[in-house]
Structure 1
Amino acid sequence: MSSKPEGLESSNISCNDAPAMSSETVQRPPPPEKPAAILTRTKVIAAFWAVIIFLGFPIWWQTTSIHRARLPIQEMVNWASGKTCRPVFPLEIQFATPSLPVSDAQHLLRTTQHTLDDLNEFSAHHLRLKLLESSNIESNSPDGLRSITEDNADTVLSVRLIAQEDLTAPRSVLHSETTQLDVFYPPSQVPVPSSSNSPLSAFIAEELQRLFGEEKATIAHVLSNNNGADHQPAAVLNSLPPQIAETINKRERRSMKYAETYHLAFSLFTPGSAPSSWDIEAAIQEYLTPLLQAFSPISNFTVDTQVQLYAMFSPMTPQPEYDESQAAWTLKKEDLSAFINAAEWPLSPSIGSGPTINFILYVPAPSQSPMVVKENHATSWIIPQWGGVFLLNAPLSTSQPSNPSHLSKESLQSAFLTFSHQLLTLMGTPATPTSLPLRLQTLIRIRAASLLLSASSTMGSLARLTKSLPSIPIPASVATSVSTTLSHLSSACDQLREGRFAAALASARVAETEAERSFFEKSMVGQVYFPDEHKVAVYLPLLGPIGVPLAVGLLKELKRIIAGWKSRRSSP
């Protein structure tokens, strides 16, 4: 019998026990974490999150938040919709009746006012008659009421009634240089106290309606373009004769957009070397300065002049043709729009802050003189919303067939008188009545109405813009401009209602300027092109690598705290 070695048996026992010992070593839990290490980790995580919440987040919020100043949105919308202000135009007309007793004069005014109210179908534009006291009448002055009219800015017209025995029917004479209307009447047509009307009252009412007929139609046209306007202005326009409606539309297409300051550029062009100079300063001072001063309540003007020699026609445009029947060189009416050689003639489209109105004085060459428009034999025309042109055909002598080297003030008279009429047209001045002061007063009221409605519409557009784009900023300057606009709109509306039209125009002008400034604020426009998607694309690459470890560490710490709380709660 053989026996196993003792050492080999011991070795077998050791090999069988080895796996059990290795398994017990792997499953042994890690040593418990020290309370000091746990507290340190918790403090570190809390410190990071405290810095983020109490320092980082407020700084980020303050530096990236969009400042939106508070705007009176509802008030702005009400102005745009016409709920806040309904423009009215009460025109005060003063009557001077030096030859009538006070009682008869008052009765005449009552009957005339009643007739006017019956004839007027547009309540926003109405005439108010006022009897002038006898002590204020200059009976010895041939102009009568001229000084009173100039002193009282609220009075748009002064009517002086003059009795004449040899008349069979009343007649009227409007002074072309003042706002005074003289009415000559037979004494037999003065209404007696028991009558409700008279031929004299009807005549005066019809004359006043005729004088302000184009103004009423124009204001109705302006109000009808407002979104919040009622149906009355449209009804007035529909009842107008087609000729008046076409006149208003034509004037609107020709006239320049309103501006506080215009730049007038007078240019002398000639295809040769003469004339090389002109007495422009004296001509402007003599023929144009009084008109510019009369425009001062409406707009201001700056003046610039230039002389351009060898200014030839463009080779791409039709050239003048000689007409034997007219014995003149002619330009066709359809070719007038191409008369200006914009490529070579130095005409700046805009100089300074205001729009430029160009006036061209063209002196044709002796070989092409005289030069006229073929269809109507005219020597001037208007380029809508740009300026005017005048052809100065210099007189040529047989001994010296050439243009003069210098144009005197007298030779420029016809040109500058034409430029004055063209300026009135380009400024939108009505064609009637014949009195220039009355036409300028009408223009004041038209401009005040248009600026009031334009500024109100801009306020509505700004309100809709801020509501539809909540991501754009609204700086404090915009809120200030809006407040100024609304304040001046309210003042303009009140002043219109009181009949102070020059003051209303001044307030409406400020309102329009501030409204445009607030709507076209550069900082508001720039933010529109930086939407929220761009912000996310910028922040994610920066905050992702930092935020994920912090969020994971916070979750683990919260799980540990919750697990410890549950174990303490379950232990007896």
Structure 2
Amino acid sequence: MSTLNIRKWAGVIFVLVYVIVGIPLWYKLTNIYRAPLPREYIKTLHDKKFHDVHVTIPVYIRSDVYKFPDIHEAAQVQVNHLLNSKEQNVQWSLEILCYNETFIELEKEQGREYHIVTLQLDEFVGYNAAYDSKNTVVYFDDPTVARNDLPFFVAQTLVEHTFNVEWTYLSSGDLMDSRNDSVAINYTPNVHLSINLLKGDGSPVDWEIQETLTTYFTPFRKFLSPLVNFTVDTSVVYFNDLNLHSLNESKEIEWTDVSHAIDLSELSSMNYFSEDSALNLAIVFPSKETNPNGFSFIKTTEDKTWDSFIVPQWGVLVVNKMPLEANSVISKNYLDAVFYKFANDLFELLGLTTDMNGLFSPVITVDSFKRIRTLQNMNKSIETLWSLIKLTEQFQQMAIPKEVLEKVKKVLDIRLQIVEILNNPSRGDDLSWDKALTLSNKMVQNSEEAFFDGQMLKQNFFPQEHKLAVYMPLMGPITIVLFSGVVALFKETEETPKTEKDNVTSDEKKEIEETEKVGAIEGVDEVN
């Protein structure tokens, strides 16, 4: 093989290595990794968020006097008729079952409680809900039984009263609509509660807050723990009445006046917590020096020397009429009354109700809001994932790490677990709803972590043209030299060997011609 051919083969090998290995390797090392997100599946869930959800709530019905063998079937027909009278934005239904005392008692021993309707014969027709259980009592009389109206009364009580929260949010209502946005805080599973005792002067004071929290507020925290977990801190603040003395000239005030007058800067700056949301309870006593006669705008009675105001999205303000004496001790009895009022106001601050007077039953209301919050969290998570999809499609240079893909898959897997709980009537107990709510909170957390992943933004501001600007000073000369050299090689042709005669110069040719004329070149001697 000639030297030229060897050079050509070497040039071809260089080009092949450059094209097949070099360029792909450079592209791989400089390319942004984008994990394949399940776009179509998320789009389907976004367009039809609850297409595979049918919330089924089991209700057990019993009668203490009359034995109605088919009352659960008759009530089921009436319940279905009422539910179908409105268009449902999320499918839900009640499954009316015959009461089984053995089953209910066994489930109760394991901490599982179900909704129970008790039919009680009385002189009037009505209903009542237990304050501390999920038991609804329907009162009926004999004429009601004779007219066969009892199934309708049961259905009406269940749909329009016991499950009024579901009836409001899921039937012809907006699931994401919060009727108490102006007062309630945004829902989060963890809320910090700051309890502060404020005095307008600096005289020492003590309070039996530990006893009150242990005996009264701790059970209340446990009651709300499936919905909200509270962390609590307490403090005593001196020389601060939140600027309430500025209202002392007013005879009557509303909560709006209090909201505009109070100065919360000191309380806000002294509280540090890791939770996303916080609520406050501030118990304020006036200064004995500046307000010896107390706050004139507080109306008192023989049993009550204070008044409370709800400050929207902040908490509750308890304002006392008279100042404290030096070295006073605030008793547990006083604090119990304050915390009873505060516990009722918490339902409004958490968005569970807009009016405590209209609260059907705390236990039933909390149970209903477990389901509503679960569905709202599912909706919020899917909206977050869809926003993530749109964001990654809009910014093609945005990286999508594998961790983001794993979190997205985890969100979708959790959603399937929640749907299985919501759709299964055999899992309609307290523990199942608690588990569904806990899973939905994790669903929100993972979706937000996927959306706000810091790795996605690192290379978002390094577009492709910047890469070319960085690498062209290196890649450009290499490419030009390599390809121009190969082209030159293939243009070059191999020269044929020259004869000895072709290598003679013109002077030598003349000399040879003269020699040939005299015959010397053939070896003939010249004769004179």
TM-score normalised over the length of structure 1? 0.74
1:282 and 2:211 matched: yes
| Paired position in structure 2 for 1:357 | 279
1:444 and 2:370 matched: yes
1:25-64 equivalence runs, <5 A: 36=3, 38=4, 42=8, 45=11, 49=15, 52-53=18-19, 56-64=22-30
| Paired position in structure 1 for 2:349 | 426
Q: CA deviation at 1:73?
A: 1.3
Q: CA deviation at 1:484?
A: 0.8
| Paired position in structure 1 for 2:312 | 384
1:385-534 equivalence runs, <5 A: 385-394=313-322, 402=325, 405-430=328-353, 431=356, 432-499=358-425, 500=428, 501-534=433-466
Distance, in Å, in 2 between the alignment partners of 1:406 and 1:558 is: 103
Distance, in Å, in 1 between the alignment partners of 2:282 and 2:101 is: 51
Q: CA deviation at 1:387?
A: 2.2
| Contact 1:371-1:379 within 8 A present in 2 as well | no
Return closer, same or farther for 1:221/1:278 CA change in 2, 3 Å cut-off. farther
Q: Deviations over 1:366-414 (max 9, x none)?
A: 343235469xx98222232232222133576xxxxx3653322222123
Distance, in Å, in 1 between the alignment partners of 2:33 and 2:173 is: 37
The letter of the residue matching 1:443 is F
| Contact 2:57-2:93 within 8 A present in 1 as well | yes
Return closer, same or farther for 1:395/1:127 CA change in 2, 3 Å cut-off. farther
2:33 is paired with a residue whose SS is coil
Distance, in Å, in 1 between the alignment partners of 2:171 and 2:298 is: 36
| Paired position in structure 2 for 1:26 | none
Q: CA deviation at 1:448?
A: 0.6
1:344 and 2:307 matched: no
1:322 and 2:249 matched: yes
Return closer, same or farther for 1:109/1:190 CA change in 2, 3 Å cut-off. farther
| Contact 2:165-2:368 within 8 A present in 1 as well | no
The match for 1:92 among 58, 76, 87 is 58
Runs of 4+ in 1 over 6 A off after TM superposition: 147-150
| Paired position in structure 1 for 2:149 | 199
| Contact 1:79-1:456 within 8 A present in 2 as well | yes
Distance, in Å, in 2 between the alignment partners of 1:45 and 1:277 is: 92
Q: Deviations over 1:126-154 (max 9, x none)?
A: 332211136568xxxxxxx8x96685747
1:264 and 2:227 matched: no
Distance, in Å, in 1 between the alignment partners of 2:10 and 2:381 is: 60
| Contact 1:92-1:154 within 8 A present in 2 as well | no
Distance, in Å, in 2 between the alignment partners of 1:189 and 1:461 is: 55
| Contact 1:149-1:179 within 8 A present in 2 as well | no
| Contact 1:108-1:190 within 8 A present in 2 as well | no
Return closer, same or farther for 1:51/1:128 CA change in 2, 3 Å cut-off. closer
Q: CA deviation at 1:340?
A: 3.8
Return closer, same or farther for 1:215/1:372 CA change in 2, 3 Å cut-off. farther
| Contact 1:256-1:426 within 8 A present in 2 as well | yes
The letter of the residue matching 1:487 is D
Root-mean-square deviation over aligned CA pairs: 3.3
Return closer, same or farther for 1:216/1:306 CA change in 2, 3 Å cut-off. same
Distance, in Å, in 2 between the alignment partners of 1:307 and 1:339 is: 21
1:106 is paired with a residue whose SS is coil
Distance, in Å, in 2 between the alignment partners of 1:78 and 1:217 is: 26
| Contact 1:256-1:385 within 8 A present in 2 as well | yes
| Paired position in structure 2 for 1:160 | 118
The letter of the residue matching 2:96 is L
The letter of the residue matching 1:407 is I
Return closer, same or farther for 1:534/1:340 CA change in 2, 3 Å cut-off. farther
Calculate percent identity across the aligned residue pairs.
Answer: 23
The match for 2:95 among 104, 128, 142 is 128
Distance, in Å, in 2 between the alignment partners of 1:97 and 1:148 is: 20
Return closer, same or farther for 1:341/1:150 CA change in 2, 3 Å cut-off. farther
| Contact 1:331-1:371 within 8 A present in 2 as well | no
| Paired position in structure 1 for 2:128 | 173
2:468 is paired with a residue whose SS is helix
Distance, in Å, in 2 between the alignment partners of 1:334 and 1:318 is: 16
Distance, in Å, in 1 between the alignment partners of 2:215 and 2:195 is: 15
Number of residues paired by the alignment?
Answer: 473
Return closer, same or farther for 1:44/1:184 CA change in 2, 3 Å cut-off. closer
| Contact 2:178-2:351 within 8 A present in 1 as well | no
Q: CA deviation at 1:291?
A: 1.4
Q: CA deviation at 1:53?
A: 4.1
| Paired position in structure 2 for 1:218 | 169
TM-score normalised over the length of structure 2? 0.79
Distance, in Å, in 2 between the alignment partners of 1:340 and 1:80 is: 44
| Contact 1:428-1:443 within 8 A present in 2 as well | no
Unaligned residue ranges in structure 1 (runs of 5+): 1-34, 138-144, 192-196, 226-247, 397-401, 566-572
Unaligned residue ranges in structure 2 (runs of 5+): 300-304, 496-528
The letter of the residue matching 1:96 is R
| Paired position in structure 1 for 2:514 | none
| Contact 1:85-1:493 within 8 A present in 2 as well | no
